[in-house]
Structure 1
Amino acid sequence: MAISDQTVLTKMMNELQEALNKSGQTNVVREHVRAVRLLCDLILDSEPESTGTTEPKPSIDQLELKKMMGNLGQSQPNTTPPTRKIDDEEANGDSIFDF
């Protein structure tokens, strides 16, 4: 069961009023201030209520998507030139660490 912000704010005002009424008693005032801080944290930590006025997400039209992504639908042939293998009698493979 969710507690409305208005209810929490009313409780905060009651705690502040009690703290003002007991202004001569430091420990009692501190307890009321702790209660106010707890109620503040309750409001700040809770999820905001959705009122149905959320902003619509902008949609990306197809032309803009094509400009950003390029022609992904067309397959481009692999044009890497074939590498020639170095034949050295002391080398033992294709590693760059073969000396």
Structure 2
Amino acid sequence: MAVKNTIILQKMQEELTRAKKADSQTFIKHIEKIKLLCELFLDAEQHDSAPSSQHISKEEMKVMLGQQTKQPPIQHDEANGTSIFDF
């Protein structure tokens, strides 16, 4: 369930008002609540601007499906195939 930005801002204003009236012991608690509310905005913004991890390139899809791109066989004296299990 998403919370509207206006509700978060209203809660921040309420905490700010309480912090202004608070003594030194409870002042920090109100500021911590404001910080938490700010982090809701920052986390949502970072999540929205993050690159989509759902995009898969054609090459990645081929590898995942086992359709390897053709690679030349390894050329050295003791190699006889492309698999690491070929002896």
Q: Name the TM-score, length of structure 1 as normaliser.
A: 0.44
1:38 counterpart residue number: 36
Structure 1 segments, 4+ long, off by >2 Å, are none
Larger RCO: 1 or 2 (CA < 8 Å, sep 6+): 1
Number of aligned positions between the proteins: 50
1:18 aligns with 2:18: yes
AA of the residue aligned to 1:12: M
Deviation, structure 1 residue 26: 1.1
2:82 counterpart residue number: none
Comparing both structures, which one devotes a greater share of its residues to helix?
2
Name the larger-Rg structure: 1
CA RMSD after TM alignment: 2.4
> What are the equivalent positions in structure 2 for 1:1-99 lying under 5 Å apart?
1-22=1-22, 25-47=23-45
User: Unaligned regions of 5+ residues in structure 1, if any?
Assistant: 51-93
Deviation, structure 1 residue 47: 4.6
Deviation, structure 1 residue 11: 0.2
